[in-house]
Amino acid sequence: MPKTLVDIKRTLDANVGKRITIKANGGRKKTSERSGLLEETYPSVFIVKLDEQQNAFERVSYSYADILTESVELLLCEEGSELTALKA
């Protein structure tokens, strides 16, 4: 499990182009779940290209701090295996 922002970024860098599911805390008991491809990583944010059929917009971005503070949970989809959770 990644414990620092650098560890989280390295983990996401290694998984660019793979399918992920995002569970984001929206506050006041609201959570949203989206799925798509991990498109790009930048020094402080990462971008997910969402599935077109399920979402009204194409891309979302989150910061690595969102994962560290557990306001966003990522599930990495490995081919032929179960989901792997990425949490701090």
pLDDT the model gives residue 41? 95
Specify the pLDDT at position 79. Answer: 65
The dotted CATH code for 5-78 is 2.30.30.100
26-85 pLDDT per residue, tens: 888 888 888 899 999 999 999 999 987 766 678 999 999 999 988 899 988 776 555 566
**Exposed, middle or buried, 64 (CB in 10 Å: 0-12/13-18/19+)?**
buried
Instruction: Check the CA dihedral 2-70-48-45 and report its sign.
Output: negative
**Contacts for 42 with CB less than 8 Å, ≥ 6 apart:** none
What angle is formed at CA 52 by the lines to CA 69 and CA 37, rounded to 5 degrees?
45
Q: What is the pLDDT of residue 52?
A: 78
Write down the residue that tokens 């790009």 correspond to: 40
Instruction: Assign 86 a pLDDT band (cuts: 50, 70, 90).
Output: low
Give residue limits of the domains in the chain. Answer: 5-78
Q: Between 31 and 2, where is the model more confident?
A: 31
Q: Select, from the ranges 1-5, 8-12, 24-28, the one with the highest average predicted confidence (pLDDT).
A: 8-12
Distance from C-alpha of 28 to C-alpha of 42, rounded to nearest angstrom? 29
**Residue 20 pLDDT level (bands cut at 50, 70, 90):** very high
Q: Which of 44, 80, 45 is nearest to 61 (CA)?
A: 45
